[in-house]
């Protein structure tokens, strides 16, 4: 007993000594968070729509999308920024409103995020200004489309794009099944761009320039638009498309150019989507999974055949995160794959159909005459049925031939790219910096996939068109300075890639 008491006393003394010694040691220097400066906010307004009438936002509403450096850094504290203040006037009156903003981007690696805000203004608005504590900034705005459409397909921004086969595959399919395509474009090989514009002139789609986010004269330490915006503001582009066609479309879907959705439950997209939405009146969006396929295509535009492309498709036995179809009356903004979850958004995960994702496409010299080649239907991943009926494939082939005949004098198809330069570099870069890390469970190593996520050497002999716009310097305001671009246009004098 005496031995145990002595052991207890010695142990207690040792513990006290260790604690005293530890607290006497000099502590490591820590960042004094409270004394860090507040981060100056820079907001780039990519979308500002004024709705004289709206079934979901209310009449005389404004909807805003902006990229803003809202997240804290090791150098700055976050500002107290909970509301956006908007001034509007017409010929007889004016109004100032305060409204909360909502986070659209859900990527913790990027410091510049996309936010959404909406507010009720007054009839016949002639001027809109963003209000800061020490000044106001007048911003341009437009009205959304009111041309009725059953389905709008929003194609994510294309960058250094060469994949003209994907384009032809997509636009002919979407037209056949009753959808209108709104394609966002940053840059493309010029002959491919010329083809897009011809199809735009024939009503297949709208090609919309997507201008870069820029804060003129602002250091990267405060707002790094070079590295800290996710995928060239793809979330903002998709949400812009939703706002642009919110009052016009029954359904809106958000896809990449290599995503192909073919209706399986009905003859048209609108009928299939309506059947699925009818399952529950509370559904805000449908979620289609993506199944990966490989295709083999000719590199020669004049020999291209949709029939041959369909017949070459093989299943790769790999499923990826899918994409969504929304009811635009129930959703105001969306993220990369589906709208952010809010109390008002309920989803239906579609088991009856999938998106056909052209994960890999091989360009080959060998070509076969589609009139002599047997028509082969590609099958679903589970071999349950053909992805598309033979009759529909021939309808698509006939539609393609009509366009090729119409453009024969311009030699448009013979001038299309025959090599892949940028496409292969983009694929290699994204695999190394994102997909390989994601699928090998090394997500902590992923950095923000910013606008310059991939850095390429420009090729003098590959000519491109790229979006440019007018950017203005802005007087610094607190707590936020607002920026925007005006008059976006395509230029062939800037090269394919912006540094």
What residue numbers bound the domain in which 127 lies? Answer: 38-138
Mean pLDDT of 85-94: 97
Look up residue 358 and give its two tokens: 């052209």
Residues in the chain: 499
List C-alpha distances in Å: 130 to 53, 58, 118. 22, 20, 13
Question: Is residue 485 in some structural domain?
Answer: no
Question: Is residue 331 in some structural domain?
Answer: yes
Alpha carbon 35 to chain centroid, angstroms: 37
How many domains does the structure of the chain reveal? 2
Give CA–CA dist 182/157, Å, rounded.
Answer: 10
Q: What is the pLDDT of residues 17-51, one digit of tens each?
A: 434 443 444 443 444 556 788 889 999 999 999 99
Is residue 106 domain-shared with residue 153, that is, in the same domain? no
Sign of the torsion angle spanned by Cα atoms 447, 434, 113, 456: positive
Give CA–CA dist 435/150, Å, rounded.
Answer: 34
Among 138, 172, 195, give the residue marking a domain's end. 138
What is the per-residue pLDDT for 108?
Answer: 77
What is the per-residue pLDDT for 123?
Answer: 98
Is residue 367 domain-shared with residue 432, that is, in the same domain? yes
Question: Is residue 494 in some structural domain?
Answer: no
What is the per-residue pLDDT for 343?
Answer: 65
Question: Is residue 144 in some structural domain?
Answer: no
Among 116, 138, 160, give the residue marking a domain's end. 138
Question: Is residue 481 in some structural domain?
Answer: no
Asked whether the beta carbons of 307 and 400 are under 8 A apart, the reply is: no
What is the per-residue pLDDT for 19?
Answer: 41
Q: What is the pLDDT of residues 190-220, one digit of tens each?
A: 999 999 999 999 999 999 999 999 998 899 9
Q: Which of the pair, 459 or 269, is modelled with greater confidence? A: 269
Is residue 376 domain-shared with residue 457, that is, in the same domain? yes
At residue 7, does pLDDT exceed 50? no
Asked whether the beta carbons of 79 and 39 are under 8 A apart, the reply is: yes
Q: What is the pLDDT of residues 347-394, one digit of tens each?
A: 999 999 999 999 999 999 977 777 777 888 899 988 999 999 999 999
Is residue 134 domain-shared with residue 154, that is, in the same domain? no
Is residue 298 domain-shared with residue 415, that is, in the same domain? yes
Is residue 110 domain-shared with residue 198, that is, in the same domain? no
Is residue 105 domain-shared with residue 195, that is, in the same domain? no
Q: Classify 332 in phi/psi space as left (phi over 0), alpha (psi -120 to 50) or beta.
A: alpha
Count other C-beta atoms under 10 Å from residue 353's C-beta: 18
Look up residue 285 and give its two tokens: 């969006």
Is residue 303 domain-shared with residue 399, that is, in the same domain? yes
Count other C-beta atoms under 10 Å from residue 199's C-beta: 20
Q: Which of the pair, 193 or 452, is modelled with greater confidence? A: 193
Is residue 74 domain-shared with residue 183, that is, in the same domain? no
What is the per-residue pLDDT for 17?
Answer: 43
What residues have CB less than 8 Å from 274, skipping those under 6 apart?
A: 250
Look up residue 469 and give its two tokens: 């716009």
Q: What is the pLDDT of residues 434-450, one digit of tens each?
A: 888 888 989 888 888 87
Is residue 121 domain-shared with residue 158, that is, in the same domain? no
What is the per-residue pLDDT for 495?
Answer: 81
Q: Which of 465, 462, 469, 470 has the alpha carbon at shortest distance from 491?
A: 465
Question: Is residue 106 in some structural domain?
Answer: yes
Question: Is residue 9 in some structural domain?
Answer: no
Among 84, 119, 138, give the residue marking a domain's end. 138
Is residue 60 domain-shared with residue 176, that is, in the same domain? no
Here the CATH number for the domain that contains residue 81 is: 2.60.40
Residue bearing tokens 């800037």: 494
What is the per-residue pLDDT for 33?
Answer: 54
What is the per-residue pLDDT for 498?
Answer: 55
Look up residue 21 and give its two tokens: 């010694």
Question: Is residue 108 in some structural domain?
Answer: yes
Count other C-beta atoms under 10 Å from residue 8's C-beta: 10
Give CA–CA dist 422/458, Å, rounded.
Answer: 9
What is the per-residue pLDDT for 496?
Answer: 82
Look up residue 385 and give its two tokens: 């049925």
What predicted TM-score, i.e. pTM, was given to this entire model?
0.90
Is residue 212 domain-shared with residue 99, that is, in the same domain? no
At residue 263, does pLDDT exceed 80? yes
At residue 237, does pLDDT exceed 70? yes
């Amino acid at each position: 007993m005496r031995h145990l008491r002595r052991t207890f006393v010695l142990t207690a003394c040792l513990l006290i000594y260790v604690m005293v010694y530890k607290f006497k040691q000099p502590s490591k220097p820590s960042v004094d968070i409270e004394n860090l400066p507040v981060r100056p906010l820079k907001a780039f307004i990519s979308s500002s729509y004024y709705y004289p009438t709206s079934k979901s936002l209310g009449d005389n509403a404004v909807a805003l999308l902006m990229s803003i450096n809202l997240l804290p850094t090791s150098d700055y504290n976050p500002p107290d920024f909970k509301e956006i203040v908007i001034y509007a006037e017409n010929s007889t009156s004016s109004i100032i409103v305060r409204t909360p903003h909502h986070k659209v981007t859900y990527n913790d690696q990027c410091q510049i995020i996309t936010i959404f805000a909406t507010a009720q203004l007054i009839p016949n608005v002639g001027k809109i200004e963003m209000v800061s504590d020490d000044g106001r900034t007048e911003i341009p705005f437009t009205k959304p489309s009111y041309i009725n459409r059953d389905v709008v397909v929003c194609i994510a921004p294309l960058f250094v794009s060469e994949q003209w086969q994907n384009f032809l595959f997509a636009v002919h399919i979407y037209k056949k099944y009753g959808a209108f395509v709104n394609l966002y474009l940053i840059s493309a090989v010029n002959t491919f761009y010329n083809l897009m514009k011809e199809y735009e002139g024939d009503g297949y789609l709208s090609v919309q320039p997507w201008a870069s986010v820029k804060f003129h004269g602002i250091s990267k330490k405060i707002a790094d638009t070079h590295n800290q915006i996710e995928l060239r503001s793809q979330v903002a582009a998709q949400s812009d498309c939703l706002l642009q066609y919110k009052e016009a479309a029954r359904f809106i879907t958000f896809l990449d150019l290599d995503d192909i959705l073919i209706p399986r439950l009905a003859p048209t997209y609108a009928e299939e989507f309506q059947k699925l939405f009818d399952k529950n009146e509370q559904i805000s969006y449908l979620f289609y999974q993506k199944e990966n396929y490989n295709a083999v295509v000719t590199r020669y535009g004049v020999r291209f055949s949709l029939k041959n492309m369909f017949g070459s498709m093989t299943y790769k036995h790999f499923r990826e995160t899918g994409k969504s179809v929304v009811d635009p009356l129930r959703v105001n903004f969306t993220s990369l794959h589906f709208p952010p979850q809010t109390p008002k958004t309920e989803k239906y995960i579609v088991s009856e159909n999938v998106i056909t994702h052209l994960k890999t496409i091989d360009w080959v010299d060998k070509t076969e005459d589609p009139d002599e080649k047997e028509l082969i239907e590609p099958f679903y991943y589970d071999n349950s049925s053909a992805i598309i009926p033979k009759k529909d494939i021939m309808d698509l082939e006939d539609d393609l031939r009509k366009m090729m005949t119409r453009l024969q004098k311009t030699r448009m198809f013979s001038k299309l790219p025959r090599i892949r330069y940028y496409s292969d570099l983009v694929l290699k870069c994204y695999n190394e910096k994102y997909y390989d890390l994601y699928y090998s469970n090394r997500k902590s190593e992923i950095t923000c996939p910013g606008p310059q996520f991939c850095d390429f050497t420009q090729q003098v002999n590959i000519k491109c068109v790229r979006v440019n716009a007018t950017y203005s310097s802005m007087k610094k305001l607190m707590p936020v300075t607002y920026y925007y671009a005006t008059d976006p246009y395509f230029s062939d004098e800037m090269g394919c890639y912006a540094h």
